[in-house]
Structure 1
Amino acid sequence: MFRRTRFAFACLLLTLACAVAWAADGPGKAAVSSAHELATDAGVEILEKGGNAFDAAVAVSAALAVVEPESSGAGGGGFWLLHRASDDFSVMVDGRETAPAAATEDMYLDEEGGVDRDRAINGALAGGIPGAPAAWVHIAETYGTLPLSDLLAPAIRLAEEGFPVDAKYQALLNWRAHVMKRWPETAAIFMPGGEVPAIGDTIRQPDLADTLRALAEKGRDGFYAGEVARKLVDGVQATGGLWTLEDFADYEVVEREPVRTSYRGYELVTAAPPSSGGIAIGQMLEIVEPFDLTGMSRADRVHVLAEAMRRAYRDRALYLGDPDFVDIPTGMLLSENYAAGLRTTLRLDRATPSSMLAADPDRLGKESSDTTHFSLIDSQGNMVSATLTVNLPFGAAYVPPGTGVLVNNEMDDFSAKPGEPNAYGLIGFSANAIEPHKRMLSSMSPTIVIGDDRTAVLGTPGGSRIITMVLLGILDFIDGNGPESWVSLPRFHHQYLPDEISIEPDALSDAEIEALEEKGHTVTVRNRTWGNMHGVMWNRETGELEAAHDPRWNSGGAVVVDIDAK
């Protein structure tokens, strides 16, 4: 017994020594890439105060909630994938929204049994219980080193002093302005003067500053109890929503073991359910493992990847949901044998119609540039990949008076009716049906990829296309390229239904499109790009850090700064 104890103690000492050595080998610099330069600045400000990556993640998240209200906010949620260098520990902090206790499976059905899309996406009834503020508090208290008040200070300052409207804010508000005008108090915040503001105009949010200040001073209770909670609940109920003070009191952040898989010698640490991203990405990579993708023609490579996407999105609809409510066959979905079975139906010369895998009506999905993502690495080698959302741009387009908090419309991410597509064209069945306190399925896919000498941290917004964008970024990293390349890649996507390959303008040549059509694919060239990827990379061999933001929007901020390891 003594010998076993002594041996275990020696192993523990060896493990700790290795962990300390790994931590001491941090890059000595930090890299931050987010969807808004002011949010990136907030992260750098905290790092320069001596905070770690997790402190900076709270600051960036809160700042994005202020300066990018079209994409995330205190009224939304997200997934924060954390990696702590000192002990090689990784965890996914699940701050996903939950259904109110009064929610029912058929709450969005009309008298004829169809889905009332307006009720599902516009106004207070569309909102799940927010998770972002609870996640900020949890990350700060569990993994951070600085007081929450320090971490929220940049966001409070931005809310009080204001930020300039950029092209992304203006473009997405143009899409949602007609809905926002239903609630004049909401429109007054984001559309001063009643019209979509010009680029460069200043947006100030004093009520939001007060809400953030309450959170900074009182922690979780500053948002989920007391005056702020009462204002949120009263405002939602006054316009037909279901939130209650009990819903707020009951909300809990959940720590989840990330999905872990490997591809070509690289380890992937990625999002776990209720994200569908990690399982879907792992399944796609398992399907394509035997193929020499780099040696294929461009058209053949797109064909093979689209076929893998088709099968993974089919399984997404059938099996995935909130793991606290549904038994998800994760082992099966990520197994080599299951992938081999799916691969037997994959022909190199011919597309497999989705109708041959399962039958459901073909529906057209909408494109989206909402949601947001940031990636960062600190000087110690700690990492965060975080994807945050309010669902559609500006969420439900409604702010409970006196709070400054935009209500999300995440309830539309549930399956409101079996087989019926949501706003992104994604279908679902009983695994993702609406239930009280349940978390809705998500496509958010924050990911860390670890190789022998290089590590990537990446993710993106983009609705149903998130998963395939991250897949393409992972493959590009493994092919030897850096973040400037990942974030700039031309993008293509297949999500099972509609049965088509969607591509960005100029993503494929006419000859490549023709080759895919000869295989039986329908190729749809969209009239605009999608996504807003942000990535950082640590080359451990050279010690260099790189950071890049998506060129599709010019509001992003990506920096590498010299910060001595603390």
Structure 2
Amino acid sequence: MRRLFIAVCTGSLLAFACAHDKAASSPASSSPVPTPPLTPQATGQGGAASTVDVRATAAAIEILKGGGNAVDAAVAAAGVLGVTDPYSCGIGGGGFMLIYLADEKRVVAIDHRETAPRAMSREFFYEGGAPIPMMEVLTSGLSAGVPGMVRGWEVALQRYGTRGLSEVLQPGIRVAERGFEVDQFFVDQTTRNVDRFKLFSSTARVYLPGGKPTPVGGIFTNPDMAKTYRLVAEGGSRAFYQGEIARAIVDTLTNPPMAPDASRKVRLGVMQLADLEDYEARVREPVKTTYRGYTVYGVGAPTSGGLAVSLALNLLEGYEPASMSRVDFLHRYLESSRLAFADRTAYVGDPEYVDVPVDGLLSKAYAIERRKAIDPARAAPREVPAGNPFAFQVDPSPAPRMAATVPAVMGSAALAAAELDTPDRETTHIVTSDKAGNVVSYTCTIEFEGGDGIVVPGYGFLLNNELTDFDVPKSPTAPHANIPEPGKRPRSSISPTLVFKDGAPVLALGSPGGSTIITTVLQTLVNHLDFGMPLLEAVAAPRVSQRNSADGASQAEPEFLASPEAAALKEKGHVFGNAGPVAGMNAIGAVTAIRFNPDGTVTVVAEPKRRGGGSAMVVEGAAK
């Protein structure tokens, strides 16, 4: 069994492996950051980390080895991912971080979701009384929310970390300056976005050198990104939200850097300097439920992930997997997901703007009532209506006026399931733990693959298009919990999750994947907790995702479609579509997770194949 290189090598902050250290004898500024071997699972102690990218995971481990805690390590990993996985996350976006503080034995959530500019309103998404076509909004200044990433990092580090931005951003600076070797997945992502990236001179300059993607094995550098990280490292969040970077962001959105030969015009944004200067991250209480003796924590609104996962688990808790076949339990998993999505779509929005019935959605009594809608023998043939969680609120109060009318407009949103809730929506997930027992489950994003497609000129980072996460009903006067409003945070599906048993952490996990994040986390929990699969097997297993689409169908990976379970489920009326409407993408989610073992060790895992495979490491232990 191969010993983890980080346990036996010393050197710089990113001293990846002894062999690589010897090979990299040229000056740091001229040699690319070496790529250590990928390992999807590791078991050991002293701390752990897992991400989609081996350099990001190694950065987290080096921070842990240097005495940093799990929060420091998570931010360091995110900083590197902003360079190596820039189409999924970066400082032009935001995220949700779930933290277990071991010394206080409590869980906190940091919401650094993007916000709509103050000048934004639903009218901007309509033209001639009809919703603007989604693809026109997707790649535009109009779709960008105020980035929350840097403020979220700073809040996390100041409140719960032990290091500052000046230290944890150093790995990202190094990778951006020295570059890294491009793999096939990076090339595929770039290739899918060539037409969008060519519209903007600043984006083409960074991601299409010579007019085309950097080839496999080529070295990709981003010196402008290194410059931006240095400014933030030296000046903190103020350097991002005020001054030259803020001015550049506003100018980019209100006056996009169009290429001279751009094939079309793009819609302008309305962000102002005051929107950036006034941005605030929120420290929120997590949502939680219990499931077969476990306590499950997630992040609440404005992300729907924690609430939807909790509701689906509450529904599933009424069934005993040992007393039925796997097919029968999978049937109930799919139908529970269907009901949870109906409620999630109807009722979850920014809690500062709408009355989200959190207590009702989490109520065990509500789950008992809602479970009656599940036919144990047949799948629902089409989209199902939302339930009435307001009747189960701890302190019942009249439902908001929109509550009675929301179900009538479900499924009619121009930017909802029919067009954008597909697995190609990009995000990334990070899990870290440290020797003191602190744990972080962290999902960050710029929304669609490549965000809005616009790089801020001279600063090297892509901006998000998170405002496409708002719902835009066909009628501009239709009510909805998730309509665009000034300063509002769009609903998300991000689902960082922590699982405890008898007060001690058992599991940390999360995933990217748009709205399939929710079902990916849920299915991984079912695989591990109900079916007893080892964690890596639970993560690698073929996936199926039911999200209450209008036609009633579930999306499934090819391996699931070919399984006996799929055939048996079809006999129960389930209809499946092949996940992967975009060429080259046939996977749902990309999980990273940590299991806390009874002997005091941890087992950390990453996807072994999806998205080219992820990277799992421990401070002291063995990789598999």
Q: Normalising to structure 1: TM-score of the pair?
A: 0.90
Provide the rounded CA distance (Å) in 2 between the counterparts of 1:117 and 1:525.
22
Contact 2:115 2:487 in 1 (8 A): yes
Partner of 1:31: helix, strand, or coil? strand
Write out per-residue CA displacement over residues 441-476 of structure 1, whole angstroms, 9 at most, x where no aligned residue: 000000011124761110000111000000111223
- Alignment partner of 1:392 out of 445, 448, 452: 448
Structure 1 unmatched runs, 5+ = 1-26, 421-427
Q: Specify the SS of the correspondent of 2:611.
A: coil
Assess, with a 3 A threshold, how the Cα gap between structure 1 residues 325 and 242 changes in structure 2: closer, same or farther.
Answer: same
1:85 maps to 102
| Aligned mates of 1:137, 1:562 — CA distance in 2 | 28
What is the distance in 2 between the residues matched to 1:429 and 1:264?
Answer: 38
C-alpha distance in 1, partners of 2:99/2:479? 31
Which range moved further: 473-482 or 359-368? 359-368
8 Å Cα contact 1:413-1:441 kept in structure 2: yes
1-side partners of 2:304 and 2:81: how far apart?
Answer: 24
Report deviation, 1:35.
1.0
What is the alpha-carbon distance in structure 1 between the residues aligned to residue 99 and residue 196 of structure 2?
36
After superposition, the C-alpha distances for 1:170-208 in whole angstroms (9 at most, x for unaligned) are 222222111110012211101211112211212211111
Q: Give 1:554 shift.
A: 3.2
CA apart distance, 1:417: 2.5
Shift of 1:430: 1.3
Q: Equivalent of 1:462, from 507, 513, 531?
A: 513
Q: Structure 2 vs 1, CA of residues 419 and 509 (structure 1 numbering), >3 Å: closer, same or farther?
A: farther
Answer yes or no: is the 8 Å Cα contact 1:259–1:269 preserved in 2: yes
Contact 2:431 2:594 in 1 (8 A): yes
Give ranges in structure 2 of 5+ residues lacking alignment. Answer: 1-43, 257-267, 386-406, 581-585
Aligned to 1:258: 286
The aligned counterpart of 2:40 is none
Aligned partners of 1:115 and 1:417 also within 8 Å: no
Give the deviation of 1:511 after TM superposition: 4.3
Contact 2:422 2:513 in 1 (8 A): no
Instruction: Find 1:529's aligned residue among 587, 601, 604.
Output: 587
SS at match of 1:520: coil
Q: Deviations over 1:112-167 (max 9, x none)?
A: 51332133210222100000011111111111112321111111111111122222
In structure 2, C-alpha distance between the alignment counterparts of 1:549 and 1:514, rounded to whole Å: 29
* Equivalence for 1:102: 119
Q: Residue deviations 1:259-307, cap 9 Å, x none?
A: 1111000011111111101110111111111212244323222211111
| 1:415 aligns with one of 471, 492, 496 | 471
Aligned partners of 1:46 and 1:511: how far apart in 2?
Answer: 45
1:410-445 per-residue CA deviation (whole Å, 9 max, x = no partner) reads: 01001122699xxxxxxx961100011110100000
Provide the rounded CA distance (Å) in 1 between the counterparts of 2:312 and 2:229.
40
Amino acid at match of 1:316: R
2:535 maps to what in 1?
483
Task: Sort the Cα spacing of 1:395 and 1:294 in 2 relative to 1 into closer, same or farther, 3 A.
Answer: farther
Q: What is the one-letter code of the residue matched to 1:415?
A: D
| AA at the equivalent of 1:270 | G
Is the partner of 1:126 in helix, strand or coil? coil
Taking the aligned partners of 1:399 and 1:378, their CA distance within structure 2 comes to 35
Q: Does 1:198 align with 2:215?
A: yes
Distance 1:525 1:297, change over 3 A: farther
- 1:28 touches 1:380 (CA, 8 Å); kept in 2? no
Who is 2:235 aligned against? 218
Task: Please point out which of 224, 239, 242 is paired with 2:270.
Answer: 242
2:614 to 547, 556, 561: 556
Contact between 1:34 and 1:534, CA under 8 Å: does it hold in 2? yes
**In structure 2, C-alpha distance between the alignment counterparts of 1:29 and 1:295, rounded to whole Å:** 40
Code of the residue aligned with 2:157 in structure 1: it is A
Task: Name the counterpart of 1:344.
Answer: 372
User: Contact between 2:305 and 2:493, CA under 8 Å: does it hold in 1?
Assistant: yes
Partner Cα separation in structure 1 for residue 425 and residue 71 of structure 2? 26
- Higher mean C-alpha displacement, 320-329 vs 507-516: 507-516
Structure 2 equivalent of residue 449 of structure 1: 499
> TM-score, normalised on structure 2?
0.82
Within-5 A mapping of 1:50-61: 50-61=67-78
User: How many angstroms does 1:517 deviate by?
Assistant: 2.5
Question: Residues of 1 paired with 2:59 and 2:360: CA distance?
Answer: 42
8 Å Cα contact 1:108/1:119 also seen in 2: no
Report the 3-state secondary structure (helix = DSSP H, G, I; strand = E; otherwise coil) of the residue aligned with 1:371: strand
The within-5 A match list for 1:117-516 is 117-239=134-256, 240-355=268-383, 357=385, 360=411, 363=418, 365-368=421-424, 370-417=426-473, 430-452=480-502, 455-479=506-530, 480-498=532-550, 499-509=552-562, 511-516=564-569
In 1: Cα distance, 2:423 partner to 2:51 partner: 21
Distance in structure 1 (CA, Å) of the matches to 2:209 and 2:233: 27
- Range with greater deviation from structure 2 (457-466 or 479-488): 479-488
Count of aligned pairs: 529
State the shift of 1:252 in Å: 0.1
Q: Distance in 2 between matches of 1:297 and 1:201?
A: 50
RMSD: 2.0
Greater mean deviation of Cα atoms: 251-260 or 206-215: 206-215
Identity of aligned residues (%): 37
User: Contact 2:130 / 2:475 at 8 angstroms: preserved in 1?
Assistant: no
What is the CA-CA distance between 1:355 and the residue it aligns to?
A: 4.4
Amino acid at match of 1:363: A
The letter of the residue matching 1:432 is N
Task: Write the distance in 1 (CA, Å) between the matches of 2:272 and 2:606.
Answer: 39
Tell me if structure 1 keeps the 8 A contact 2:339–2:384: no
Contact 1:369 1:531 in 2 (8 A): no
Tell me, yes or no, if the aligned pair for 2:422 and 2:516 is still in contact at 8 Å: no
Q: Give 1:76's aligned residue.
A: 93
Equivalents in 2 of 1:121, 1:355: separation in Å? 26
Task: Give, in whole Å, the separation in 2 of the partners of 1:487 and 1:90.
Answer: 24
1:32-43 equivalence runs, <5 A: 32-43=49-60
Whole-angstrom CA distance in 1 between matches of 2:525 and 2:563 = 26
